[in-house]
Structure 1
Amino acid sequence: MVAFISKRLLLFIPTLFGVSVIVFLMLQMVPGDPVNTIVPADATEEERMQVTRELGLDKPIYVQFIYWLVHMFQGDMGTSIIKRLPVSELLLPAVGNTLLLAAASAVVSFGLGLAIGVYSAYRPKSWAASLFNVLGLAGIGMPNFWAALILIGIFSVSLGWLPSSGMQSIGGGGLLDTFRHLILPTIAASLTTLGVMTRMVRSTIAGLLQQDFVFALQAKGAPAGKVLRHVLKNGMPTILTVAGLQFGYLIGGSVLVETVFAWPGIGQLIYQAIGQRDFPIVQSGVLVVAVAFVLINLAVDSLHAVLDPRVRHS
């Protein structure tokens, strides 16, 4: 098992390096100059050159990349160009808020997706299964930011039941207040994942129900609960693989949801930094998301290897 995990870790190193290179080069192609966001419009050329040298933007691109990468390995994410604060102080709280939203969305989408998918596999001709199929397709096809706007319009503007933005009310309101602010972003972020999980679980369980071991269990008179446990045990590796990918999507793909709801997560932080040309925040933020995605996949692969020992020898 240790050898299996070590091999996966070695494979993730080039992945993270490739992500860092792509992000760095793409930011160099973004229109605009970060110096313009710092110096006033009437600044002299000497003042502009001084700020450029202080930011290290006068050096060749490959030198800037190596300098940034070395400091990242040392735990130094740099300093925000706009806020003049260490990037780590800005990212860590945002990462925690994003993980909270992603975890809540995962509980909703994975739990409901598993329950609905199993029911639809056992009752494929029922009206409920047909309804769930339509809703699943709608969840996959509807952009999450559009769903967020609809939820705000209904539950915040029209009904006034739930807050429309932020993580807490002005002055703070404790855990219950945070929970109320979390409801709408969770629903909006989980719709796509719920649709994917529902359809994947349904197809996986439906295929397993046609296997010989299920007919053998039924012929022996095994109760329905025991049959279901055997089916879930055989289908869990596939389900976990997709669930791991979807959890990574919930972490990195909720940028627009966080922006619409003004949720102070890493997605909103990166979105604001892109508009302000605050490159250190964007580079470090995207790399943190990539590391989180890699670690999630490592955890899923390890759990998959535990459930199916054949994976460890593949």
Structure 2
Amino acid sequence: MSKKIKLLATAGYLPATVVTNDDLSQIMETSDEWIVAHTGIKTRRYALGENTSDLATKVGKELLAKANLAATDIDLIIVATITPDALTPSTAAIVQANLKAQNAFAYDLSAACAGFIFALATAEKFLQAGTYRRALVIAAETNSKMMDFTDRTSAVFFGDGAGGALLEASDAGSSVYLAEKLVTQGNKEVIHSGRIAPLSAIAATNYPKTDAFYQDGRAVYQFVTTTVIAHIKDFLAQNNLKPSDLAMVITHQANLRLIEAIATALDLPLSKFAQDVVEAGNTSSAGIPLALAKAHAAGLHGKVLLCGFGAGLAYGSILLDL
């Protein structure tokens, strides 16, 4: 007998420091007019003095409080991130310790801006197996620490933040989780971050170095406006739905111009699309759960499409019934 997946709570957290387009124009060759015209983004948040685990921990605490649960009630914690505190230990392990969730196993998942989609789909499988009952699924990013601030084509997009959901498996009632489709098209060049080169020689001067975030903006736009849009249309058709059947579409908050392009392709008004990106910037994997938490708190109900896409190239969709 399949389990019914319940959405017990959603939550989001944005750091306190607001960074405007004018602020960025003081440290790079750009302007508010250029950024708004190309991205629709007006502000973003930077986590000064906070790392990814700090943001994720705050979301975890809020999820537990909203669901009126103790940390010991959690069986699984997945943190989706491409900006971890470290390569090891996992950011999720730090969050598990911070929350004192000693009954939970925890690990990170890396699928870039599709991370929350992949993490949510993974958690659902653990809960369906019947071995585990409750899962915290958190996406958290401190993108600012990975930026090259001489690269205005990338740096102006990104902000920091975290969001998440608390899921529970049940034998009764209806399930919030209706369908999913996950896809990967291996490509290491269009978007990459944190590359570590192999050794070229044995020397005392060797020391690990990573590269900054990079994206080919034109290639990303082409990928989203062709491949991702076709994926959304096919996914809805496979589930016998039309775009107009959806109460809301929550895509990766890449930039407002891409969200507008998706809305046009689906023949839906922009009002049906979450638009957290204008004030929060592109928060990578955290964008979807941040927008979901905001809409959920405002009383969102009905069928909701979540769609993430990013480096990998990884993309996927989940259909929820709230």
Specify if TM > 0.5: no
- Rg: which structure is higher? 1
- Which of the two has greater strand per residue? 2
TM-score by length of 2: 0.22
